[in-house]
Amino acid sequence: MAETVIEVRGLRTQFGPHVVHDGLDLDVRRGEILGVVGGSGTGKSVLLRAITGLVTPAAGRVRMLGTDMQDAREAELDALAARIGVMFQDGALFSSLTVRENVETPLTTLSHLDAETRESLARLKISLAGLPWSAGDKYPSELSGGMRKRAGLARALALDPEIVFLDEPTAGLDPIGAADFDELIRGLSTALGLTVFLVTHDLDTLYATCDRIAVLAEKRVLVTGTLDDMLEVDHPWVRAYFQGPRARAARGEEIATPPADA
């Protein structure tokens, strides 16, 4: 069994009286790509933000890479931040900075790096994310949606993280662009030994990239397991999601076409 690098126990998140998660438990293993799915309003992105410390839980514990997020001192949290990368939806880039400058932003926390080294490292990460060299000198407004996502991924990789969090990385992409991004994620995970926490609703992405799935429902993680495991789960949402026509198409099964009216 691989090492557990993220451990969530009894997590409760809420905004005012609205409870998003209650009693949520989850383990993420080193080196895996974990896909987090769930219906609208189940708090997939909120869970990502709670684990990374961007949302303060009302109760429960989050332990990541040996650090207890609730009890850690500021210096410990700063050290942990250098070991993770986060890619938000649509990249969440600074519009007034070029792509290269966006990717350099996390590198400015490393005082031993001079400007030339930061620029070289930023351009390396831009290339790793599958962008052309020239993209580094463009502003986010000059990029397509897919290129902005890759730029966001490059910034998430800037500090050579152990864990990367991806929030809906293929949302809004055309099928070819989404497939290319799926291949990129899988390739980087293998080449760099990354652990990937991937929030998605895209069935094709699940089948192309993920080692395990965590299903959010009823304010908790209802079930975790492989894609094959999901086919055995007796729950209405899980059945509809993983056994419906789109899921069968993602698995490569032929979908029967209704006969035309005579």
Q: Which residues of 200-221 are buried (b: 16+ CB within 10 A; e: fewer)?
A: bbbbbbbbbbbbbbbbbbebbb
**Residue 110 DSSP class:** -
Q: Is residue 29 part of a domain?
A: yes
* Listed residues 120, 135, 160: the one ending a domain: 160
Q: How do 33-38 and 18-29 pair as beta strands?
A: unpaired
**Of residues 186 and 145, more confidently modeled:** 186
Counting residues of the chain whose pLDDT is more than 90, the rounded percentage is 81
What is the distance, to the nearest Å, from the Cα of residue 31 to the centroid of all Cα atoms in its chain?
A: 14
The CB density around residue 97, as the number of other CB atoms within 10 Å, is 14
**pLDDT level of residue 111 (50, 70, 90 thresholds):** confident
pTM over 0.75: yes
Kindly state whether residue 196 falls inside one of the protein's structural domains. Answer: yes
Look up residue 136 and give its two tokens.
Answer: 């580094």
Are both 33 and 148 inside the same structural domain?
A: no
First to last CA, the chain: 57
Does pLDDT of 246 surpass 80? no
256 within some domain: no
Who wins on pLDDT, 257 or 177?
A: 177
List of residues 6+ apart from 163 with CB closer than 8 A? 5, 6, 28, 64, 65, 83, 84, 85, 194, 195, 196, 197
Does the residue 258 lie in any domain?
Answer: no
Same domain, 52 and 120: no
Domain housing 188: 4-83+162-250
Q: What is the mean pLDDT of residues 169-197?
A: 94
Residue 232 has pLDDT above 50, yes or no: yes
State residue 69's pLDDT score: 92
Average pLDDT, the chain: 91
Q: Is 51 left (phi over 0), alpha (psi -120 to 50) or beta?
A: alpha
In a domain? residue 260? no
Residue of 40 and 30 predicted with greater confidence: 30
- Provide the 3-class DSSP secondary structure of residue 43: coil
* Residue 12 sits in the same domain as residue 134: no
On whether the CB atoms of residues 28 and 2 are closer than 8 A, the answer is no
Structural domain includes residue 171: yes
Select from 154, 147, 144 the least CA-distant residue to 122: 154
pLDDT at 240: 92
237 contact partners, CB below 8 Å, separation of at least 6: 38, 39, 215, 217
Kind of pairing, strands 212-217 and 33-38? Answer: parallel
pLDDT, one tens digit per residue, over 190-214 is 999 999 999 998 999 999 999 999 9
Number of domains in the chain: 2
Each residue's pLDDT tens digit, 113-165: 899 999 999 999 999 999 998 899 999 999 998 899 999 999 999 999 999 99
Q: Final residue of a domain: which of 136, 160, 184?
A: 160
Beta bridge partners of 4: 29
H or E segment and range at residue 92: none
In a domain, 137, yes or no: yes
CATH code: domain of residue 193: 3.40.50.300
Domain end, chosen from 160, 181, 207, is at: 160
Is the domain of 79 the same as that of 166?
A: yes
Q: Rounded CA gap, 131 and 138, in Å?
A: 11
Per-residue pLDDT at 249 exceeds 90: no
Is 50 exceeded by the pLDDT of residue 95?
yes
Q: Are residues 178 and 243 in the same domain?
A: yes
Residues 168 and 221 in one domain: yes
**76 and 144 belong to one structural domain:** no
Would you say residue 88 lies in a domain? Answer: no
Nearest to 251 by CA among 260, 261, 241: 241
* Alpha-carbon gap, residue 89 to 83, rounded angstroms: 20
